[in-house]
Amino acid sequence: MIQYIVRRVLWMIALLFLVSAITFFIFYALPSADPAALRAGKSPNPQLVEQIRHQLGLDKPLYQQYYDYMKNLITNGDFGFSYQNNISVRTQIFQRLPATISLAIGAALIWLTVGIGVGIISSTRPRSLIDRISMGAALVAISAPVYFLGLVVLYLFSNDIGVFPLFPGAGSYVPFSDDPSAWFTSLIMPWCVLAAAFAAFYARLLRSTMIDTMHEDYIRTARAKGLSERRVIFRHGLRAAINPIVTAAGLDIGILLGGAILTETVFNIPGVGRLAYDSIVNSDLPMIQGTVLLGAFFIVTANLVVDVLYAFVDPRVRY
């Protein structure tokens, strides 16, 4: 197990280098908006643009720019400075990260609880009324885009424009350190909107795998030994069918920790996803590079965690 983890960590480092190189090439080598011209403002003086380009190091060869960037990143953990406001990228990301973590973890708890619960109930009562209703609702939730569902929820339940004013609306996010109660209420609607499609997908996925698993020979053997149905379902059926859920959850949480762009934009949550969106709109290349690397780090880390969890969740897995 230790050797496997070491190999995977080394592969993670190589993959992050590859992601950084590809991102750097896409945003710096390919034709795009000139950062120096954007920094200089409207109708800039050409001499001023050249001076800014020299200050930013954009007049150096591409390989030298990439080498300087990676050197600062590895030695100092420095992602550079924003081209828009000259603020440290690392500072901006770490300021926004708590909001994104709050959104992703809270939504994950909801969709895992609902998705696994509904999946188990539907799989143990296939083609029943509750199965048809839950799978129909899951299909509707999967089909509803996040931005559409978010706007509908705001129209119905936000306390400023809502028909039934129950929860704080868009732009009402409060950090946990300021007021835990206000933090919780400000994230109820974003959590539910973000979790809806994931919960529906997980319910359908677990239902299909559980139905197949419950017809296996070892399930019939467990029942023949006189085990209770609850123990058969949770101890034998669910444990064998949970691998696809673990895989999907690890990847989805890793992706969301890199920024839930649509949800953060609809609810005006100051997270990493909203930061990435604003950076793309403003062609802020260092900020884009930093958010992409952060997202890649969370995704490859989630992959490693998922692979290690397999050995604990499924006794058939050995490394």
Q: Are residues 41 and 165 in the same domain?
A: no
Q: What is the pLDDT of residues 145-161, one digit of tens each?
A: 888 899 999 999 998 88
- Tally of structural domains, the chain: 2
159 falls within a domain: yes
Q: With respect to residue 1, please indicate whether it lies within any of the assigned structural domains.
A: no
Q: Are residues 296 and 159 in the same domain?
A: yes
Predicted pLDDT of residue 43? 67
Per-block average pLDDT, block size 10, for the chain (319 residues)? Answer: 79 87 77 67 74 78 83 84 83 91 92 92 88 89 87 89 85 88 92 91 91 86 86 84 85 83 88 88 84 88 82 64
Q: Are residues 126 and 266 in the same domain?
A: yes
Three-class SS state of 1: coil
Residue 112 lies in a domain: yes
Judgement on whether residues 70 and 151 belong to the same structural domain of the protein: no
Q: Enter the DSSP assignment of 117.
A: H
Tokens of 212: 């197949």
Judge if pTM exceeds 0.95: no
d(CA 159, CA 163): 8
The DSSP symbol for 28 reads I
Check: CB of residue 147 under 8 Å from CB of residue 205.
no
Residues 125 and 36 in one domain: no
219 and 167 belong to one structural domain: yes
In this structure, the answer to whether residues 126 and 23 fall within a common structural domain is: no
My answer on whether 64 and 102 are in the same domain is no
Q: Is residue 38 part of a domain?
A: yes
User: Hey, what are 72's tokens?
Assistant: 């600062």
Domain membership of residue 61 as a residue range = 16-76
Q: Is residue 82 part of a domain?
A: no
Q: Residue 147's domain is classified under what CATH number?
A: 1.10.3720.10
55 and 108 housed in the same domain? no
Task: Examine the domain organization and report whether 72 and 105 are in the same domain.
Answer: no
Q: What is the pLDDT of residue 315?
A: 61
Do residues 59 and 153 both lie within one domain?
A: no
Residues 142 and 265 grouped into a single domain:
yes
What is the tally of helices (H) and strands (E) in the chain?
A: 15, 0
- Does some domain include residue 8? no
- 87 is a domain residue: no
pLDDT tens digits, residue range 274-293? 888 888 887 788 888 889 88
Domain assignment present for residue 83? The answer is: no
